[in-house]
Structure 1
Amino acid sequence: MANLSGKVALVTGAGQGVGQGIALALAAAGAKVAVSGRTLAKLESTCALISERGGEALPVEGNVRDAGSLAAMVAATQDRFGGIDILVNNAQEVPQGKLMDISDEAFVGGFESGPLATFRLMKLVQPLMVARGGGTIINLASSVGVRWDMTGYGTYAAVKQGIRSLTRAAAAEWGRDGIRVLSVAPHAESPGLKWWVSKNPEEAEAFFRTIPLGRIGRLEEDIGRAVAALCSDDMAYLTGATIPLDGGQANFD
């Protein structure tokens, strides 16, 4: 297991799903974790799970679409734990549907909660990481961006591909500061995936058949632990890449 003892992490959207799985895995590896999201009760539940295992966590209520809220998340984490070594940009509103069915408001929501929030948070934590000698930023991307048939997924792909571009830029600009920046593209047993399966059962069945490992990733064991490993010193020479945590389904070449 990765060793993240002495590290401090901030994970957005950590009240459930992939974000919670990542927060649990980072804590299990020894990191102190600030978990952020819009619903305090869900954040407190994640923190309780971490505390039960002997870890230390802080719930930080906030909305990633609001610049002031993002600044408050970072400030609360720094005040409690003394800095930030790991940032996981996970929270995202997904504008999903055919182009003619997506409103401007939904697209803006996807942009504000995705690329813009990622951009803002990365800039907020960069000086804190520099002061601590470096750090790791993990941004959540998606294999939807490399689908051969983009029907119904264009706006979703647009915001996620924007995040991948920001990841590459930050990796290039901040590498000499000891900051590594990576994207991960997971398939996981999240509430969002379960909702999609319920709405698109035939497409989902066909989609699952294209996963070489034959299953969807487990939130903590498959996705969270992989992220923890990527944040560890064992991966100190890896930056700027998109890591597909999807059982071999996507081709990012």
Structure 2
Amino acid sequence: MILESDASDEDVAAALDCGADALLLRLGPCVEDAARRSARARACALINEARGKGWSRGKSAAPKLFVEVAPLVNELIEADLDALFGPGPDGVFLPSCDGAASLQRVSVKLAVREAQAGLADGATRIGAFAGGDPAAALALRSLAGASPRLAALAFDEAGLRAALGLACGDGAAVQMARGAVVLAAASAGVPALAAPVRTGEEAAYAAARRDGFRGAMALFPGEIAAIHEVFPAGQNRQRPQSSA
């Protein structure tokens, strides 16, 4: 389920209680301004609140807390990580992954912050949107063995359509990138997550499972039950829900 940085407290509460395996906290536009600083503070407060309720690292029943940070090419990623390693999320989510180099660069950044925060090396996992950039989609095969931190790959179908100028339809390029994400995730031993769907299009989850996806992103709490039906417990579901 994806909640943006301006989500209401009611929306955040619903996200926390809807039964998703993971919550993805989004920080909004990549601009160093009051809104982004506020979103960082809100994300940290939510992580601290979750920890206070006993949702500690490593508890299998707890929803994992991920935060989507700025792209590696944007210097804002440093400020994002510095702020987050107050409480320390379960993981960070990259807006785009273009292969092993991306994972290795962010792994180094995480290792430094973990050491400074007194966390175990490797405690922070990495998720990433993948396939949204045509060139990056062709580099996904390098992800196998790139980092033990990798937790999941999510197909950025909307990003790819925008890059290709496609309004709709599943053309050859979209299908190829979709397959590349599934294969890259399988070769790396992590779940591939299908793109979120609009209300009334839940049948797409079954198609995603047939294509090899192991879970799906969600936009609203009400979609979680439908995703659970298609991707039962014990099959490595991961559905980062965004909120911040």
For this structure pair, what is the TM-score category when the shorter chain's length is used for normalisation?
0.3 to 0.5
TM-score of the pair, normalised by structure 2: 0.40
User: Taking CA–CA contacts closer than 8 Å with sequence separation of 6 or more, which of the two structures ends up with the larger relative contact order?
Assistant: 2
